[in-house]
């Protein structure tokens, strides 16, 4: 499928066209669309994303962090999630709030990160595994698979990461348009609101992302990244 057809498909999904993704369309929770931009305010396009580089952006609230990454592998649809964007389905976005105890990338430090390099962990059957391209939370060592709908590979996480619904226009410009799966935005804002207000310098931590949300390289978003 060429890019034009693919992006048309995604636009059709939003417009309510009857497509093979109809079930996925029904499953995602729509939030106001936010176009993604780099820190110099240029548009984020599918072609501008380098494989393995993880970014953080705020969606659907400015203070709720998400990962955006072009994976080295395809991320096909699974259940209600339609899969990654682009012709190879490798561009994905997930909430960066761990489903266990809501560890998340904060500006001073992050215990959860996308790992392009091989990471070893024990799977749910106690077998040692080594995978690259996972999202790893070092708080209590939960590991998620962004190439498989954010499913839990290891650790105490009770649920997959919420996936962010993406849309691309004819030029490949990316927008976040909703969320799939169980999200924790309300609980997160309630629990961490006071600290988030200080960290982001805002009075309203429930402010929506607005028309544009900047993506920041993960290693720049958090001063310190804890890797395990």
State the pairing for strand pair 134-137/112-115. antiparallel
What's the DSSP call for residue 8? Answer: H
Q: Name which position in 8, 34, 95, 103 contacts ligand FES (CB under 6 A).
A: 103
Number of other residues whose CB lies within 10 A of the CB of residue 48: 15
3-state secondary structure 29-86: EEEEEEEEECCCCCECEHHHCCECCEEEEECCECCCEEEEEECCCCCEEECCEEECEC
Number of other residues whose CB lies within 10 A of the CB of residue 198: 10
Q: Name which position in 28, 62, 70, 100 contacts ligand FES (CB under 6 A).
A: 100
Q: Name which position in 77, 87, 101, 129 contacts ligand FES (CB under 6 A).
A: 101
Q: Is 170 a binder of ligand FES (CB under 6 A)?
A: no
The interface with ligand FES within residues 121-140 (CB under 6 A) comprises 137, 139-140
Nearer residue to ligand FES within complex by CB, 97 or 176: 97
Nearer residue to ligand FES within complex by CB, 6 or 67: 67
Beta carbon of residue 64, minimum distance to ligand FES (angstroms, whole number):
15
Q: Name which position in 82, 133, 155, 160 contacts ligand FES (CB under 6 A).
A: 155
Q: Is 160 a binder of ligand FES (CB under 6 A)?
A: no
């Amino acid at each position: 499928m060429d890019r034009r057809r693919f992006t048309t498909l995604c636009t059709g999904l939003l417009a309510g066209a009857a497509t093979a993704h109809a079930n996925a369309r029904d499953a995602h929770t729509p939030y106001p669309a936010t176009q993604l931009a780099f820190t110099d305010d240029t548009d984020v396009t599918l072609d501008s994303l380098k494989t393995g580089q993880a970014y953080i952006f705020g969606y659907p609230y400015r203070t709720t962090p998400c990962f955006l990454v072009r994976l080295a592998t395809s991320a096909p649809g699974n259940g209600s999630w339609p899969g990654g964007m682009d012709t190879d389905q490798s561009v994905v976005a997930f909430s960066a709030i761990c489903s266990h105890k809501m560890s998340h990338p904060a500006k001073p430090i992050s215990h959860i990160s996308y790992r392009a390099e091989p990471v070893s962990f024990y799977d749910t059957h106690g077998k040692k595994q080594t995978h690259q391209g996972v999202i790893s939370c070092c708080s209590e060592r939960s590991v998620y698979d962004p190439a498989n709908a954010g499913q839990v590979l290891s650790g105490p996480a009770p649920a997959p990461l919420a996936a962010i619904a993406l849309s691309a226009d004819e030029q490949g410009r990316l927008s976040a348009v909703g969320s799939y799966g169980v999200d924790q935005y309300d609980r997160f804002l309630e629990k961490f609101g006071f600290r988030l207000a200080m960290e982001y310098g805002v009075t309203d931590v429930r402010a929506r992302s607005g028309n544009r949300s900047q993506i920041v390289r993960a290693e720049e978003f958090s001063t310190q990244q804890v890797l395990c």
